[in-house]
Amino acid sequence: MIGYVTVGADDIPRAKRFYSSFMPALGYQLQEGPEGLSYALPDRPGQPAVFPDFHVKPPLDGRPASVGNGAMIAFQLRSQQEVRNLHSAALAAGGQDEGQPGFRDAYGPHFYVGYLHDPQGNKIALFSSNPDEPGRNG
């Protein structure tokens, strides 16, 4: 199980605008601190913690943040419409399009995905694979 994911950012206010455009819709709550942004799913009394947390922070070594070539973080959504809505919101909040929402031939018939880069250049996927929705072939 993945406990948390961290991406680097040099401009925290810009990163906050981007990530806050879709993370609350996934149920994540934001906590801000001097070290950056932390998005976590709320704990429920009597239930184990829900993971992964997602952090956006300046690099600890003090050097500029950089992106990983080939690295991508994917967020699973409930529907194709939610993928379209949140992809659009993330673009309006400073993201860069890396692939409009839609089906991809290389993936299963219900895998619906939109790709973006956050303001720092980290690659993000927003996807749904809801079998109750129409698939690639109709």
pLDDT by 10s per residue, the chain, length 138: 688 999 999 999 999 999 999 999 999 999 999 889 999 999 888 888 888 999 999 998 999 999 988 899 999 999 999 999 999 999 999 999 999 999 998 899 999 999 999 999 999 999 999 999 999 887
134 found inside a domain: no
Q: What is the pLDDT of residue 105?
A: 86
Could you list the residue range(s) of the whole structural domain that residue 45 is in?
4-60+67-128
φ/ψ (deg, to 5) at 69: -70, 115
114 found inside a domain: yes
The DSSP output letter for 16 is H
71: CATH: 3.10.180.10
CA-nearest of 84, 67, 94, 100 to 133 is 84
79 found inside a domain: yes
Q: Which sign, positive or negative, has the C-alpha torsion 130, 105, 89, 51?
A: positive
How many structural domains comprise the chain?
1
Is the CB of residue 20 less than 8 Å from the CB of residue 12? Answer: no
Task: For residues 37 and 42, give the distance between their C-alpha atoms in angstroms, rounded to a whole number.
Answer: 15
Q: Indicate the SS3 state at residue 118.
A: coil
Whole-prediction pTM value?
Answer: 0.89
Q: Which sign, positive or negative, has the C-alpha torsion 127, 107, 91, 88?
A: negative
Task: For residues 54 and 76, give the distance between their C-alpha atoms in angstroms, rounded to a whole number.
Answer: 14
29 found inside a domain: yes
Q: What is the pLDDT of residue 12?
A: 97
135 found inside a domain: no
Task: For residues 35 and 57, give the distance between their C-alpha atoms in angstroms, rounded to a whole number.
Answer: 6
